[in-house]
Protein backbone atom coordinates (compact mmCIF):
# COMPACT_ATOMS: atom_id res chain seq x y z
CA UNK A 1 0.00 0.00 0.00
CA UNK A 2 1.42 3.39 -0.97
CA UNK A 3 -0.29 6.41 0.54
CA UNK A 4 0.57 9.88 -0.61
CA UNK A 5 0.47 12.17 2.42
CA UNK A 6 0.11 15.92 1.91
CA UNK A 7 3.51 17.59 2.19
CA UNK A 8 3.70 20.85 4.11
CA UNK A 9 4.52 23.57 1.51
CA UNK A 10 7.22 24.85 3.87
CA UNK A 11 9.07 21.50 3.72
CA UNK A 12 12.26 21.49 1.68
CA UNK A 13 14.96 18.83 1.65
CA UNK A 14 18.25 20.07 3.10
CA UNK A 15 21.48 19.89 1.13
CA UNK A 16 25.14 20.30 2.06
CA UNK A 17 24.98 23.76 0.49
CA UNK A 18 21.86 25.01 2.26
CA UNK A 19 22.05 23.33 5.64
CA UNK A 20 24.18 25.94 7.42
CA UNK A 21 22.07 28.83 6.21
CA UNK A 22 18.79 27.10 7.03
CA UNK A 23 19.74 25.89 10.50
CA UNK A 24 21.95 28.70 11.76
CA UNK A 25 18.94 30.49 13.24
CA UNK A 26 18.20 27.60 15.57
CA UNK A 27 19.70 28.55 18.91
CA UNK A 28 20.22 25.00 20.18
CA UNK A 29 22.11 24.08 17.00
CA UNK A 30 24.27 27.20 16.95
CA UNK A 31 25.06 26.66 20.63
CA UNK A 32 26.29 23.15 19.88
CA UNK A 33 28.28 23.95 16.70
CA UNK A 34 29.50 27.44 17.45
CA UNK A 35 28.00 30.75 16.35
CA UNK A 36 30.32 31.23 13.35
CA UNK A 37 28.28 29.47 10.71
CA UNK A 38 30.90 30.08 8.01
CA UNK A 39 33.05 27.53 9.85
CA UNK A 40 30.38 24.82 9.74
CA UNK A 41 31.43 21.87 7.58
CA UNK A 42 28.70 19.59 6.33
CA UNK A 43 28.64 16.21 4.54
CA UNK A 44 25.82 13.86 3.61
CA UNK A 45 26.43 10.35 4.89
CA UNK A 46 23.02 8.68 4.64
CA UNK A 47 23.38 5.12 3.39
CA UNK A 48 20.17 3.78 4.90
CA UNK A 49 16.98 2.90 3.07
CA UNK A 50 14.91 5.98 3.84
CA UNK A 51 16.43 9.32 4.85
CA UNK A 52 18.96 12.09 4.36
CA UNK A 53 21.65 12.14 7.05
CA UNK A 54 24.20 14.95 7.43
CA UNK A 55 27.18 15.33 9.72
CA UNK A 56 27.83 18.98 10.59
CA UNK A 57 31.00 20.06 12.36
CA UNK A 58 31.65 23.55 13.69
CA UNK A 59 34.28 25.23 15.85
CA UNK A 60 32.51 24.28 19.07
CA UNK A 61 31.18 20.81 18.29
CA UNK A 62 29.32 18.55 15.94
CA UNK A 63 25.84 17.20 15.19
CA UNK A 64 23.98 14.73 13.05
CA UNK A 65 21.02 16.14 11.16
CA UNK A 66 18.57 13.54 9.92
CA UNK A 67 15.77 14.56 7.58
CA UNK A 68 12.98 12.40 6.23
CA UNK A 69 12.40 12.41 2.48
CA UNK A 70 8.83 12.16 1.17
CA UNK A 71 9.66 8.81 -0.43
CA UNK A 72 11.65 5.62 0.17
CA UNK A 73 15.24 6.52 -0.69
CA UNK A 74 16.11 2.92 -1.52
CA UNK A 75 13.41 2.74 -4.21
CA UNK A 76 12.85 6.33 -5.30
CA UNK A 77 9.96 8.75 -5.71
CA UNK A 78 7.67 6.03 -7.02
CA UNK A 79 7.26 4.90 -3.39
CA UNK A 80 5.97 7.88 -1.38
CA UNK A 81 6.41 7.77 2.38
CA UNK A 82 5.05 10.32 4.89
CA UNK A 83 7.40 12.81 6.48
CA UNK A 84 5.59 12.22 9.74
CA UNK A 85 7.93 9.33 10.46
CA UNK A 86 10.40 11.91 11.84
CA UNK A 87 7.74 12.86 14.40
CA UNK A 88 7.44 9.23 15.53
CA UNK A 89 11.20 8.85 15.63
CA UNK A 90 11.54 11.96 17.77
CA UNK A 91 8.85 10.82 20.21
CA UNK A 92 10.35 7.34 20.42
CA UNK A 93 13.84 8.77 21.11
CA UNK A 94 12.48 10.90 23.93
CA UNK A 95 10.76 7.92 25.55
CA UNK A 96 13.77 5.61 25.11
CA UNK A 97 16.10 8.23 26.63
CA UNK A 98 13.82 8.36 29.64
CA UNK A 99 13.47 4.58 29.96
CA UNK A 100 17.12 3.65 29.43
CA UNK A 101 19.18 6.82 29.92
CA UNK A 102 22.32 7.19 27.82
CA UNK A 103 21.54 4.45 25.30
CA UNK A 104 20.14 6.63 22.47
CA UNK A 105 21.67 9.77 20.94
CA UNK A 106 20.76 13.00 22.66
CA UNK A 107 18.20 15.02 20.68
CA UNK A 108 19.25 18.65 20.29
CA UNK A 109 16.44 19.97 18.10
CA UNK A 110 13.32 18.71 16.34
CA UNK A 111 11.54 20.53 13.50
CA UNK A 112 8.29 18.80 12.66
CA UNK A 113 7.59 20.80 9.46
CA UNK A 114 11.03 20.01 8.06
CA UNK A 115 10.80 16.40 9.33
CA UNK A 116 14.24 16.94 10.73
CA UNK A 117 16.00 15.88 13.93
CA UNK A 118 19.36 17.29 15.04
CA UNK A 119 21.11 14.99 17.44
CA UNK A 120 24.40 14.07 19.05
CA UNK A 121 27.04 12.94 16.53
CA UNK A 122 28.57 9.67 17.64
CA UNK A 123 31.95 10.37 16.07
CA UNK A 124 33.75 7.35 17.54
CA UNK A 125 31.01 4.89 16.66
CA UNK A 126 30.38 2.70 13.64
CA UNK A 127 27.31 0.70 12.63
CA UNK A 128 27.30 -2.73 14.29
CA UNK A 129 26.99 -4.45 10.87
CA UNK A 130 30.35 -2.95 9.88
CA UNK A 131 31.90 -4.24 13.06
CA UNK A 132 30.58 -7.76 12.32
CA UNK A 133 32.01 -7.58 8.80
CA UNK A 134 35.38 -6.41 10.13
CA UNK A 135 35.38 -9.22 12.72
CA UNK A 136 35.64 -6.83 15.70
CA UNK A 137 34.42 -7.68 19.17
CA UNK A 138 32.42 -5.02 21.01
CA UNK A 139 32.73 -4.83 24.79
CA UNK A 140 29.43 -5.26 26.67
CA UNK A 141 27.36 -5.47 23.50
CA UNK A 142 24.88 -8.06 24.74
CA UNK A 143 24.61 -6.41 28.12
CA UNK A 144 23.77 -3.01 26.65
CA UNK A 145 21.24 -4.39 24.18
CA UNK A 146 19.62 -6.82 26.63
CA UNK A 147 19.18 -4.02 29.17
CA UNK A 148 17.91 -1.59 26.52
CA UNK A 149 15.25 -4.00 25.36
CA UNK A 150 14.11 -5.03 28.84
CA UNK A 151 13.92 -1.44 30.06
CA UNK A 152 12.25 0.15 27.05
CA UNK A 153 9.86 -2.75 26.45
CA UNK A 154 8.86 -3.20 30.11
CA UNK A 155 8.60 0.50 30.87
CA UNK A 156 6.56 1.16 27.71
CA UNK A 157 3.93 -1.42 28.62
CA UNK A 158 0.84 -1.82 30.78
CA UNK A 159 3.10 -3.54 33.29
CA UNK A 160 4.59 -0.18 34.14
CA UNK A 161 2.82 2.85 32.69
CA UNK A 162 -0.19 4.58 34.11
CA UNK A 163 -3.15 3.70 31.99
CA UNK A 164 -4.11 7.20 30.77
CA UNK A 165 -0.57 7.97 29.59
CA UNK A 166 -0.26 4.60 27.91
CA UNK A 167 -3.58 4.90 26.09
CA UNK A 168 -2.70 8.38 24.83
CA UNK A 169 0.66 7.05 23.68
CA UNK A 170 -0.90 4.06 21.96
CA UNK A 171 -3.16 6.44 20.04
CA UNK A 172 -0.22 8.69 19.11
CA UNK A 173 1.94 5.89 17.70
CA UNK A 174 -1.05 4.25 15.98
CA UNK A 175 -0.58 7.01 13.40
CA UNK A 176 2.67 5.46 12.18
CA UNK A 177 0.60 3.53 9.64
CA UNK A 178 2.83 3.56 6.58
CA UNK A 179 5.97 2.38 8.36
CA UNK A 180 3.94 -0.36 10.01
CA UNK A 181 2.62 -1.25 6.60
CA UNK A 182 6.20 -1.68 5.35
CA UNK A 183 6.93 -4.12 8.17
CA UNK A 184 3.63 -5.96 7.73
CA UNK A 185 4.34 -6.59 4.06
CA UNK A 186 8.12 -6.81 3.87
CA UNK A 187 8.63 -8.97 6.95
CA UNK A 188 5.59 -11.21 7.16
CA UNK A 189 4.20 -11.69 3.64
CA UNK A 190 6.41 -10.69 0.71
CA UNK A 191 9.21 -13.23 1.36
CA UNK A 192 6.73 -16.07 1.03
CA UNK A 193 5.52 -15.46 -2.51
CA UNK A 194 6.73 -13.81 -5.69
CA UNK A 195 6.64 -10.05 -5.33
CA UNK A 196 8.25 -7.66 -7.81
CA UNK A 197 10.68 -6.06 -5.38
CA UNK A 198 11.88 -9.35 -3.87
CA UNK A 199 15.29 -10.64 -4.83
CA UNK A 200 17.57 -13.48 -3.82
CA UNK A 201 20.88 -14.98 -4.88
CA UNK A 202 19.91 -16.80 -8.03
CA UNK A 203 20.08 -19.47 -9.32
CA UNK A 204 21.86 -20.89 -6.23
CA UNK A 205 18.93 -20.32 -3.85
CA UNK A 206 16.09 -21.02 -6.30
CA UNK A 207 15.50 -24.51 -4.92
CA UNK A 208 15.33 -23.57 -1.26
CA UNK A 209 13.23 -20.50 -2.06
CA UNK A 210 10.69 -22.66 -3.91
CA UNK A 211 10.68 -25.07 -0.96
CA UNK A 212 10.00 -22.30 1.55
CA UNK A 213 7.29 -20.72 -0.60
CA UNK A 214 5.53 -24.09 -0.90
CA UNK A 215 5.77 -24.71 2.84
CA UNK A 216 2.22 -24.40 4.18
CA UNK A 217 3.19 -24.68 7.84
CA UNK A 218 5.72 -21.87 7.42
CA UNK A 219 3.28 -19.56 5.64
CA UNK A 220 0.61 -20.13 8.27
CA UNK A 221 3.03 -19.47 11.14
CA UNK A 222 4.31 -16.30 9.42
CA UNK A 223 0.72 -15.06 9.30
CA UNK A 224 0.17 -15.96 12.97
CA UNK A 225 3.21 -13.81 13.72
CA UNK A 226 1.88 -11.01 11.53
CA UNK A 227 -1.39 -11.18 13.42
CA UNK A 228 0.50 -10.84 16.72
CA UNK A 229 2.48 -7.89 15.32
CA UNK A 230 -0.70 -6.13 14.15
CA UNK A 231 -2.92 -6.74 17.14
CA UNK A 232 -0.85 -7.38 20.26
CA UNK A 233 -0.10 -3.79 21.29
CA UNK A 234 1.90 -4.88 24.33
CA UNK A 235 4.51 -2.13 24.41
CA UNK A 236 6.18 0.69 22.50
CA UNK A 237 8.63 -1.05 20.16
CA UNK A 238 11.75 0.36 18.58
CA UNK A 239 10.27 -1.35 15.54
CA UNK A 240 13.46 -1.82 13.48
CA UNK A 241 16.06 -3.15 15.90
CA UNK A 242 18.53 -4.75 13.50
CA UNK A 243 22.32 -4.41 13.47
CA UNK A 244 22.04 -1.33 11.25
CA UNK A 245 20.17 0.41 14.09
CA UNK A 246 23.00 -0.11 16.59
CA UNK A 247 26.19 1.97 16.72
CA UNK A 248 29.24 0.78 18.58
CA UNK A 249 32.63 2.05 19.69
CA UNK A 250 35.31 0.31 21.76
CA UNK A 251 33.46 1.07 24.95
CA UNK A 252 29.95 2.19 24.05
CA UNK A 253 26.77 0.91 22.42
CA UNK A 254 23.96 3.15 21.17
CA UNK A 255 20.61 2.42 19.59
CA UNK A 256 19.47 4.71 16.78
CA UNK A 257 16.69 5.11 14.20
CA UNK A 258 13.38 4.25 15.90
CA UNK A 259 11.24 5.67 13.09
CA UNK A 260 9.30 2.39 12.85
CA UNK A 261 8.19 2.81 16.48
CA UNK A 262 4.72 1.46 17.16
CA UNK A 263 2.95 -0.50 19.88
CA UNK A 264 3.42 -4.22 19.30
CA UNK A 265 4.53 -7.49 20.91
CA UNK A 266 7.60 -7.38 23.17
CA UNK A 267 9.19 -10.29 21.29
CA UNK A 268 9.31 -8.30 18.04
CA UNK A 269 12.34 -6.16 18.96
CA UNK A 270 14.06 -9.04 20.74
CA UNK A 271 13.46 -11.39 17.81
CA UNK A 272 14.62 -8.93 15.17
CA UNK A 273 17.86 -8.37 17.04
CA UNK A 274 18.52 -12.08 17.64
CA UNK A 275 17.70 -12.86 13.99
CA UNK A 276 20.31 -10.31 12.94
CA UNK A 277 22.92 -11.79 15.29
CA UNK A 278 22.28 -15.22 13.81
CA UNK A 279 22.62 -13.86 10.25
CA UNK A 280 25.89 -12.16 11.23
CA UNK A 281 27.01 -15.59 12.52
CA UNK A 282 26.18 -17.32 9.24
CA UNK A 283 27.77 -14.52 7.21
CA UNK A 284 31.23 -14.94 8.79
CA UNK A 285 32.36 -17.71 6.45
CA UNK A 286 32.01 -15.21 3.60
CA UNK A 287 34.43 -12.79 5.24
CA UNK A 288 37.29 -15.17 5.94
CA UNK A 289 40.59 -14.66 4.13
CA UNK A 290 41.43 -18.27 5.09
CA UNK A 291 39.05 -21.08 5.97
CA UNK A 292 38.48 -21.28 9.72
CA UNK A 293 39.93 -17.82 10.39
CA UNK A 294 36.68 -16.57 11.92
CA UNK A 295 35.80 -19.68 13.96
CA UNK A 296 36.31 -18.09 17.36
CA UNK A 297 34.76 -14.80 16.25
CA UNK A 298 31.71 -16.64 14.97
CA UNK A 299 31.37 -18.27 18.41
CA UNK A 300 31.59 -14.85 20.02
CA UNK A 301 28.56 -13.75 17.98
CA UNK A 302 26.59 -16.80 19.17
CA UNK A 303 27.59 -15.96 22.74
CA UNK A 304 26.15 -12.49 22.19
CA UNK A 305 22.86 -13.98 21.06
CA UNK A 306 22.70 -16.18 24.19
CA UNK A 307 23.67 -13.36 26.51
CA UNK A 308 21.33 -10.82 24.97
CA UNK A 309 18.43 -13.11 25.82
CA UNK A 310 19.67 -13.89 29.33
CA UNK A 311 20.33 -10.20 30.15
CA UNK A 312 16.91 -9.32 28.75
CA UNK A 313 15.25 -12.05 30.81
CA UNK A 314 16.95 -11.15 34.07
CA UNK A 315 16.42 -7.38 33.73
CA UNK A 316 12.79 -7.89 32.71
CA UNK A 317 12.37 -10.10 35.80
CA UNK A 318 14.00 -7.49 38.03
CA UNK A 319 11.65 -4.80 36.69
CA UNK A 320 8.68 -7.14 37.15
CA UNK A 321 9.61 -7.52 40.82
CA UNK A 322 10.41 -3.87 41.49
CA UNK A 323 8.53 -1.65 39.01
CA UNK A 324 5.19 -3.35 38.36
CA UNK A 325 3.16 -0.17 38.72
CA UNK A 326 0.78 -0.51 35.76
CA UNK A 327 -2.66 -2.08 35.46
CA UNK A 328 -1.43 -5.63 34.83
CA UNK A 329 -0.70 -8.25 37.56
CA UNK A 330 -0.99 -5.56 40.22
CA UNK A 331 0.89 -6.03 43.47
CA UNK A 332 -2.43 -5.40 45.23
CA UNK A 333 -3.70 -8.59 43.60
CA UNK A 334 -0.58 -10.68 44.20
CA UNK A 335 2.13 -9.69 46.71
CA UNK A 336 -0.26 -7.74 48.95
CA UNK A 337 -2.41 -10.86 49.24
CA UNK A 338 0.60 -12.96 50.18
CA UNK A 339 0.69 -14.43 46.65
CA UNK A 340 4.24 -13.53 45.65
CA UNK A 341 4.81 -17.02 44.27
CA UNK A 342 1.83 -16.61 41.94
CA UNK A 343 3.39 -13.35 40.68
CA UNK A 344 6.57 -15.33 39.95
CA UNK A 345 4.55 -17.98 38.11
CA UNK A 346 2.87 -15.25 36.04
CA UNK A 347 6.31 -13.81 35.21
CA UNK A 348 7.54 -17.20 34.00
CA UNK A 349 4.47 -17.60 31.82
CA UNK A 350 4.87 -14.13 30.32
CA UNK A 351 8.56 -14.76 29.61
CA UNK A 352 7.73 -18.08 27.97
CA UNK A 353 5.25 -16.32 25.65
CA UNK A 354 7.82 -13.60 24.82
CA UNK A 355 10.40 -16.32 24.09
CA UNK A 356 8.09 -18.09 21.62
CA UNK A 357 7.32 -14.79 19.88
CA UNK A 358 11.03 -13.90 19.85
CA UNK A 359 11.99 -17.06 17.98
CA UNK A 360 9.24 -16.60 15.42
CA UNK A 361 10.10 -12.95 14.76
CA UNK A 362 13.80 -13.85 14.51
CA UNK A 363 12.97 -16.46 11.87
CA UNK A 364 10.86 -14.22 9.63
CA UNK A 365 13.48 -11.46 9.89
CA UNK A 366 16.11 -13.94 8.67
CA UNK A 367 13.90 -14.82 5.72
CA UNK A 368 13.03 -11.32 4.64
CA UNK A 369 16.64 -10.09 4.68
CA UNK A 370 17.59 -12.83 2.23
CA UNK A 371 14.45 -13.10 0.10
CA UNK A 372 12.87 -9.65 0.23
CA UNK A 373 13.63 -6.07 -0.73
CA UNK A 374 15.98 -4.96 2.08
CA UNK A 375 19.09 -7.11 2.39
CA UNK A 376 21.93 -6.86 4.92
CA UNK A 377 25.55 -5.99 4.25
CA UNK A 378 26.97 -8.98 6.20
CA UNK A 379 25.59 -11.28 3.50
CA UNK A 380 25.26 -8.88 0.58
CA UNK A 381 28.94 -7.97 0.57
CA UNK A 382 30.07 -11.57 0.11
CA UNK A 383 31.13 -11.29 -3.51
CA UNK A 384 31.54 -15.01 -4.25
CA UNK A 385 27.92 -15.88 -5.02
CA UNK A 386 28.23 -19.60 -4.26
CA UNK A 387 29.79 -18.82 -0.90
CA UNK A 388 27.13 -16.21 -0.17
CA UNK A 389 24.32 -18.55 -1.16
CA UNK A 390 25.67 -21.20 1.22
CA UNK A 391 25.65 -18.74 4.14
CA UNK A 392 22.17 -17.56 3.17
CA UNK A 393 20.77 -21.05 2.81
CA UNK A 394 21.90 -22.00 6.31
CA UNK A 395 20.27 -18.84 7.69
CA UNK A 396 17.06 -19.56 5.74
CA UNK A 397 16.88 -23.11 7.07
CA UNK A 398 17.49 -22.10 10.66
CA UNK A 399 14.92 -19.30 10.22
CA UNK A 400 12.36 -21.89 9.14
CA UNK A 401 13.01 -23.99 12.24
CA UNK A 402 12.65 -20.95 14.50
CA UNK A 403 9.30 -20.02 12.96
CA UNK A 404 7.74 -23.45 12.73
CA UNK A 405 9.22 -25.12 15.83
CA UNK A 406 9.18 -22.16 18.15
CA UNK A 407 6.89 -23.97 20.57
CA UNK A 408 9.39 -26.79 21.00
CA UNK A 409 12.70 -24.91 21.21
CA UNK A 410 13.38 -24.06 24.85
CA UNK A 411 16.76 -22.33 25.19
CA UNK A 412 19.23 -20.18 23.31
CA UNK A 413 21.75 -22.99 23.77
CA UNK A 414 19.51 -25.23 21.64
CA UNK A 415 19.35 -22.56 18.94
CA UNK A 416 23.13 -22.12 19.03
CA UNK A 417 23.59 -25.89 18.77
CA UNK A 418 21.37 -25.93 15.67
CA UNK A 419 23.33 -23.05 14.12
CA UNK A 420 26.64 -24.81 14.86
CA UNK A 421 25.39 -28.09 13.44
CA UNK A 422 24.53 -26.32 10.19
CA UNK A 423 27.96 -24.72 10.02
CA UNK A 424 29.67 -28.06 10.71
CA UNK A 425 27.63 -29.85 8.04
CA UNK A 426 28.72 -27.19 5.59
CA UNK A 427 32.44 -27.86 6.05
CA UNK A 428 32.30 -31.67 6.31
C1 LIG B 1 11.48 0.18 2.34
S2 LIG B 1 12.32 0.21 3.83
C3 LIG B 1 13.06 -1.34 3.97
C4 LIG B 1 13.58 -1.63 5.31
O5 LIG B 1 14.52 -0.65 5.72
C6 LIG B 1 14.30 -0.29 7.07
O7 LIG B 1 15.46 -0.21 7.80
C8 LIG B 1 13.35 -1.33 7.61
O9 LIG B 1 14.06 -2.44 8.11
C10 LIG B 1 12.56 -1.65 6.42
O11 LIG B 1 11.88 -2.88 6.54
MG1 LIG C 1 16.73 2.68 9.86
Pocket test residue of 46, 49, 51 for ligand 1, highest count of atoms within 8 A of CB: 49
When pLDDT is cut at 50, 70 and 90, the band that residue 5 belongs to is: low
Mean pLDDT of 24-36: 95
Give the residue, by CA position, lying nearest to ligand 1 atom 4.
374
Residues near 280 by beta carbon (within 8 Å), at least 6 away in sequence: 129, 132, 243, 301, 378
Q: Quote the CA–CA distance of 6 and 346 in Å, as a whole number.
A: 46
Q: How many angstroms is it from 245 CA to the middle of ligand 2?
A: 6
Cα angle, residue 307 at apex, residues 157 and 362 outer, rounded to 5° = 65
Ligand 1, atom 5, lies closest to the CA of 49
Residue 113 clears pLDDT 90, i.e. is over it: yes
Most informative mutation of 3, 182, 239, 272 for ligand 1 (most atoms within 8 A of CB): 182
Question: Mean of the pLDDT values across residues 124-141?
Answer: 97
Going by pLDDT thresholds of 50, 70 and 90, the confidence category of residue 65 is: very high
| Mean pLDDT value of segment 414-426 | 93
pLDDT of residue 428: 67
Cβ–Cβ under 8 Å, residues 281 and 308? no
Whether residue 52 contacts residue 14, with contact meaning beta carbons closer than 8 Å, is answered with yes
pLDDT tier, 426 (very low <50, low <70, confident <90, very high otherwise): confident
Determine the residue of 3, 50, 179 to mutate for testing ligand 1's pocket, defined as the one with the most ligand atoms within 8 A of the Cβ atom.
Answer: 50
Residue 6 has pLDDT above 80, yes or no: no
Helices 385-404 and 412-427 cross at an angle (nearest 10°) of 150
Is residue 2's pLDDT more than 70? no
Taking the centre of ligand 1 as the mean of its atom positions, its distance from the CA of residue 202, in whole angstroms, is 22
- pLDDT tens, position by position, 70-102: 999 989 999 999 999 999 999 999 999 999 999
Cβ–Cβ under 8 Å, residues 326 and 163: yes
Which atom of ligand 1 sits closest to the CA of residue 244?
7
pLDDT at 21 over 70: yes
Over range 325-351, report the average pLDDT.
98
Q: 50 C-alpha vs ligand 2 centroid, how far in Å?
A: 7
**Per residue in 264-286, pLDDT tens?**
999 999 999 999 999 999 999 99
361-374: average pLDDT? 98
Burial annotation 259-284 (CB, 10 A radius, 16+ → b, else e): bbbbbbbbbbbbbbbbbbbbbbbbbb
- Ligand 1 centroid – CA 369 distance (Å): 10
- State how far Cα 163 lies from the chain centre: 26
Ligand 1 geometric centre to CA of 98 (Å) = 26
Given a cut of 60, is residue 189 above it in pLDDT? yes
pTM: 0.97
Task: Report DSSP state, residue 83.
Answer: T
Q: What average pLDDT does the segment 43-49 reach?
A: 87
The number of the ligand 1 atom at minimal distance from the alpha carbon of 183 is 11
pLDDT tens-digit map of 281-331: 999 999 999 999 999 999 999 999 999 999 999 999 999 999 999 999 999
Residue 46: the pLDDT is 84
Percent of the chain with pLDDT over 70: 99
Helix, strand, or coil (residue 264): strand
Query: Is 60 exceeded by the pLDDT of residue 179?
Result: yes
Amino acid sequence: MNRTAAIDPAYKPLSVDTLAERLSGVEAIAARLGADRSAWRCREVGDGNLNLVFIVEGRAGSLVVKQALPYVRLVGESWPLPLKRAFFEYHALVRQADRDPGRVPEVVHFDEKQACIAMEYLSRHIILRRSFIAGDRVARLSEALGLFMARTLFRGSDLSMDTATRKADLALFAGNIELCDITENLVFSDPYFEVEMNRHTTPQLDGVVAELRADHALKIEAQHLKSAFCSNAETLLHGDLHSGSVMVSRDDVRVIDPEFAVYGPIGFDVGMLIGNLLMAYFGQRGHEAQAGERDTYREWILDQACEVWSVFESEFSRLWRTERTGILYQRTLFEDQGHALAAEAALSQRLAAIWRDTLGFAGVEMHRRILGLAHIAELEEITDEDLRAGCEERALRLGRQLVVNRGALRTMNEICALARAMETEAVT
